[in-house]
Amino acid sequence: MKSGVGHTGSTEGAAGTAGAGGAAGAAQPADVAEPARKPGRVSAHEVSRAIRDDIIRGVHAPGARLAEEALSARYGVSRVPVREALRTLEAEGFVRSRPYAGVAVAELDDAEAEDLLEIRARLEPLGAGRAAARRTPEQLGRLKELLLLADDALAADRLGELARLNSRFHEVLAQASGSQTLTQLVTQLSWKIAWVYAVELPRRADDSWREHAEIVAALEAGDPDRAAKVVAKHIAQAQKAYRRRPSGAADASGGAAGSAESET
């Protein structure tokens, strides 16, 4: 008998590692320096999460070269877990690598950003439809909780946290679909969207969360068609907002230096 490894589903939804949130605020790019994460024992998964967060926050600018040694110093681990993390990020499309030439942060031009939104527009309604049929009460509860947290954040005008809550909302929504593949796809997609939106998203925050509430209502009602439709509208609004953005701001200017709090 092979005793085949449990794996009871759960596409790993962010284990609550305290995310070096300390350096919020300033968030100057590029200048690597402080270890930022010295606690003795970190896993490769966490390193990938840390690097991903930093990419999304603009700490590592698009096109920037990521030397393994520098990363290993920054995150306080050896090169081995760093390399593993880079492979993960490569598969996710955050970095590109060439043999013996190292890895660099991917560059997202406007066309890519548009594509991301277009892809999302086609996938999320699908997931929402599934979610309306399959969501568990617990998932519904988490979504509602996120709505409340967002209300607070809105009231306090903490936009950085809002961005995180937004990603999280769409992540949970994807999980509620009950499809492993769909969840993974949409989750990775939501990370990338957060990246692209790093600058723009806060502006639309208010409307966005009103729409989120509608989504939850549709899920609660268990109406797949309505859920899909509401999500589609939501995405379309987001697309419109992105296209209306002031300047071509797809790069890593300081925007939304959100705290990296990782409460799940």
Tokens of 256: 């939304």
- The kind and range of the H/E element at 195 are helix 180-197
Residue 98 has φ and ψ, to the nearest 5°, of: -130, 140
Q: What angle do CA 143, 233, 12 make, to 5 degrees?
A: 35
Binding part of the chain for a second copy, among 17-25, 38-46, 149-157, 230-238 by CB under 8 A, reads: 38-46
For the chain, report the end-to-end CA distance as a whole number of angstroms.
36
Tell which positions 120-149 bind a second copy, by CB under 8 A: 122-123, 126, 130
Answer for which of 42, 44, 133, 241 binds a second copy (CB under 8 A) is 44
What proportions of the chain, in percent to the nearest 5, are helix, strand and coil? 60, 5, 35
80 touches DNA (CB under 7 A): yes
Which amino acid, 213?
A
Give the count of beta carbons closer than 10 Å to the beta carbon of residue 157.
Answer: 10
| Residue whose CB is less far from DNA, 71 or 165 | 71
| Residue whose CB is less far from DNA, 97 or 179 | 97
Closest CA to 127 of 209, 221, 211, 231: 231
3-state SS, residue 257: coil
Give the count of beta carbons closer than 10 Å to the beta carbon of residue 233.
Answer: 14
78 binds, among DNA, a second copy, none (CB under 5 to 8 A by kind): DNA
90 touches DNA (CB under 7 A): no
Answer for which of 16, 18, 22, 30 binds a second copy (CB under 8 A) is 30
214 binds, among a second copy, DNA, none (CB under 5 to 8 A by kind): none
- Give the single-character DSSP code of 95: E
Binding mask 81-100 for a second copy (x = CB under 8 A): --xxx-xx-xxxx--xxxx-
CB of 96 to a second copy, least distance (A): 5
43 touches DNA (CB under 7 A): yes
Tell which positions 99-118 bind DNA, by CB under 7 A: 99-103
C-alpha span between 90 and 227 (Å, rounded): 33
Q: Which residues bind DNA (CB under 7 A)?
A: 3, 41-44, 66-69, 77-81, 83-84, 97-103
Q: Which residues bind a second copy (CB under 8 A)?
A: 1-7, 28, 30, 43-45, 48, 63-65, 80, 83-85, 87-88, 90-93, 96-99, 101-104, 106, 108, 111-112, 115-116, 118-119, 122-123, 126, 130, 178-182, 184-185, 188, 192
